[in-house]
Amino acid sequence: MGDGCARALDLLPLHIQGRISDAGEAVWVKQHLQLCGDCAEEAAFLEGLLPACPEPPVDLVASVMARVEAPVTPSVHHVHRNLPPSALPNSAPSRQRVRFGGWAASVAALLILGLGIGSLWTGDGANGGDLLFSAFLEDDEVAVDRDDWMVAGAPVLDALPDEVLLALVSEARR
């Protein structure tokens, strides 16, 4: 691996899609690929991955715009990509409270593991913990779904690392 390889490897994903906007840099990568078999091979490998680029459902824009147009409804309907709209159930699922059972206990354990004591109780003091648990465990949109959360920054929820979130998702799937 030559000296320029690290730089080239960083840039290859942009190069193969013609996304390097700096003309000098684009030329540099091309020249490097002519001289360096390793990087050229890597570029070919990356190009082979591009057809697998996942795409969102085709009706996503329409679905979003339909909901932006309509008065805001709190419930969310599931995106059924393979069904016509007429095949969708008419009534929203009835709202049920999440019971504090085995799953919820695991959540609590994960939260404590993932967050550590410090990050949970910074900021708002002891209220942080309550807010967090109410946000996750109660079937109550108020705690996290207020529209001002983005402006306010939702500090408590933002403190959740992705690892914890992912652990929660896989836990919920089981």
* Interaction of residue 88 with other proteins, rule CB under 8 A: no
Near other proteins in 52-71, by CB under 8 A = 52-57, 60-61, 63-65, 67-69
Selection from other proteins, Zn ion, none that 54 binds (CB < 5 to 8 A by kind) is: other proteins
Q: Which amino acid is at 106?
A: S
Give min distance, CB of 78 to other proteins, in A.
6
Give min distance, CB of 36 to other proteins, in A.
15
Distance CA 156, CA 132 (A): 7
For residue 59, give every residue at least 6 positions away whose Cβ sits within 8 Å of its Cβ, in sequence order, or none.
Answer: 79, 81
Closest CB to Zn ion among 39 and 159? 39
Task: Give the three-state DSSP class for 70.
Answer: coil
Binding site for Zn ion (CB under 5 A): 5, 8, 36, 39
Give the CA distances from residue 57 to residues 51, 54, 74, 145, in Å, rounded to whole numbers and listed in that order. Answer: 16, 10, 22, 25
Give the CA distances from residue 7 to residues 38, 42, 55, 86, in Å, rounded to whole numbers and listed in that order. Answer: 13, 13, 29, 52
Name the DSSP letter for residue 101.
S
The residue ranges that bind other proteins (CB under 8 A) are 6-7, 9-11, 13-14, 17, 19-22, 25, 42, 45-46, 48-57, 60-61, 63-65, 67-69, 72, 76, 78-82, 93-96, 98, 103, 135-136, 139, 144-145, 147, 149-151, 154, 157-158, 160-162, 165-166, 168-169, 172-173
